Structure 1
């Protein structure tokens, strides 16, 4: 059974959010690994409120989801998001971002949220 097409408005909203380099990089990271805000703060060298603002915008439209793990809230791509296939298609063409996570591990920051 073929998936139903998404509306132009919803696709435009998702693509607009993906038009920001920081959010696009966050999504590419989340395509392979769950992360928390504190990890994104380290990766992007941004303030926690700035990172939270990016995350909130993506969460508000359902692009990403959150899950509580102990005291941490961990974010991942939302496979139930109606534009998920479109997002995956775009992310598939981007380079992996493992180097960001490897750097966190070297600094001992990756394990802080597990």
Structure 2
């Protein structure tokens, strides 16, 4: 396989990951905010293992990264990824999802995992 074929394969893999509504929404939120698994559990009304599975797929692909802050693991968009510009391009065509975090804040559930 030549280099361009490998790049197409990787790009297709990233786009496939973003084809899932939950993961796409997570990436949209992480574009402007760092988030903890517990916040995603509240936003998506999904179990912690299900959220962690989505995040693991995104992390394995290099789309997101995790940082440990004490007992908390905080997720953010990986700006060093080879596919960061591709992800940014996709996100640029979508409406902001920040209202989900605002709703969480209004409910007193926006967590500051410090």
Using structure 1 for the length normalisation, give the TM-score. 0.91
Deviations 1:57-99 (A, max 9, x none): 0001111000011221000000111111000000011111111
Which residue of structure 1 lines up, in the alignment, with residue 65 of structure 2? 65
CA distance in 1, matches of 2:112, 2:32: 18
The runs of 5 or more residues in structure 1 that have no matched partner are: none
Measure how far apart 1:56 and its partner are.
0.3
What SS does structure 2 have at the residue aligned with 1:82?
A: coil
Which residue of structure 2 lines up, in the alignment, with residue 34 of structure 1? 34
- Whether contact under 8 Å (2:63, 2:78) holds in the other structure is yes
CA distance in 2, matches of 1:29, 1:86: 16
Using structure 2 for the length normalisation, give the TM-score. 0.91
Range 13-22 or range 91-100, more displaced: 91-100
Aligned residue-pair number: 110
The runs of 5 or more residues in structure 2 that have no matched partner are: none
Which residue of structure 2 lines up, in the alignment, with residue 93 of structure 1? 93
